[in-house]
Amino acid sequence: MYNPPHPGEVIKELYLEPLELSVTAAAKALGVSRKTLSAIINGHAGISPEMAIRLSIAFNTSAESWVNQQAQYELWQAEQNRDKLKVEKLITA
């Protein structure tokens, strides 16, 4: 597994910048506050299922793709601490 980008980075680089949209204009179009969208773009918040639907409508994408990007990002982050987890293997004979 590689280090996937935060979905906010994808929004910024693949949608806002090419469309020359400000965070304020994009937030208004999405029906969310500027603060909410800014937190996502800066990697301080994740993509909720509702936000995934909003993004899918605005950018003609699937909500699943946004949720999957968020899950991949979070899983990769969690995997970085795998060795620190205190877990016993439970297997059947």
What tens digit of pLDDT does each residue of 34-72 get?
999 999 999 999 999 999 999 999 999 999 999 999 999
Distance CA 47, CA 3 (A): 17
CA-CA distances (angstroms) from residue 2 to 8, 24, 64, 69? 17, 32, 20, 13
pLDDT range class, residue 2, cuts 50, 70, 90: confident
The pLDDT assigned to 65 comes to 98
pTM of the predicted protein model: 0.90
